[in-house]
Structure 1
Amino acid sequence: MEAKAIAKYVRMSPMKVGIVLDLIRDKNVNEAFAILKYTPKRAAVVVEKVLKSAVANAENNLNLDINTLFVAEAYACQGPVLKRFQPHAQGRAFRILKRTSHITLVVKERA
């Protein structure tokens, strides 16, 4: 049994979110919450929110025990890219890519 939560169109680069996701992958849920609480990255706040949602889905929809849950899968896929332009010297335009990401967390019961 597995529960899943997805946050879509998060205004953060998937590479930056991936650094935080690597910290909690294959960890118990309680340990993952502790790690996220003390991680000084902006992505940690969003990932914690998604993890809370996945745990709530597991508890309410599938009647799983919170104490036996662990983060089975954690990944960030690239969402649509917002393309912007910034003026540069001599009338040139400099392109800025504002990346978005879709964060997916899957929690399972440890056997």
Structure 2
Amino acid sequence: MEVKATTRYTRISPLKLRLPISEIKGKNAEQALTLLKFMPLKAAGIMYKTLQSAIANAEHNNEMDVDKLVVKNVIVDHGPSMKRFRPRARGRAARILKRTSHITVVVEETI
């Protein structure tokens, strides 16, 4: 059975969040948490919290064994972008997009 946790409207771009995904996908949940804990990326900290939430959901809501959980899938989608403007030369303005992301972590219990 699959259990998921989502984090929405995170103030980091999806491109930066996708960096640590390949490291944790398919790994044991505890091992994935350890890997994320020691990665020197902001994205790893955000992913760590979401994975912790997915593990807690599996343990509390569905009474699954935490030692048998495996990270099945991690999905990072675009959220809405905040539009800001920076003044430029000769009275012009340059647009700045402050991107947001939605993260979904799916864990499942192995047999």
Q: TM bucket by the smaller chain?
A: over 0.9
Percent identical: 48
In 1: Cα distance, 2:110 partner to 2:88 partner:
54
Partner of 1:34: 34
Aligned 1:1-40 pairs, distance under 5 A: 1-40=1-40
Q: Provide the rounded CA distance (Å) in 2 between the counterparts of 1:38 and 1:58.
A: 24
Shift of 1:75: 1.2
Q: Match for residue 60 of structure 2?
A: 60
The AA in structure 2 aligned to 1:22 is S
* Aligned counterparts of 2:81 and 2:9: Cα–Cα separation in 1: 10
TM-score (ref. length: structure 1): 0.97
Q: Which residue of 2 aligns with 1:87?
A: 87
| Residue of structure 1 in register with 2:106 after alignment | 106
Structure 1: 5+ residue stretches without partners = none
Moved over 3 A (4+): none
Distance in structure 2 (CA, Å) of the matches to 1:23 and 1:99: 23
TM-score where L is the length of structure 2? 0.97
Secondary structure in structure 2 of the residue aligned to 1:104: strand
Equivalent residue, structure 1, for 2:45? 45
Deviations 1:49-90 (A, max 9, x none): 100100000001111101110100101000001111001111
| Secondary structure of 1:19 counterpart | coil
Residue 2 of structure 1, CA deviation: 1.1
**In 2, Cα distance between equivalents of 1:78 and 1:89:** 31
Question: For this pair of structures, how many residues does the alignment match?
Answer: 111
Q: Residue 83 of structure 2 aligns to a residue in which SS?
A: strand
Q: Unaligned regions of 5+ residues in structure 2, if any?
A: none
CA RMSD of aligned residues (A): 0.7
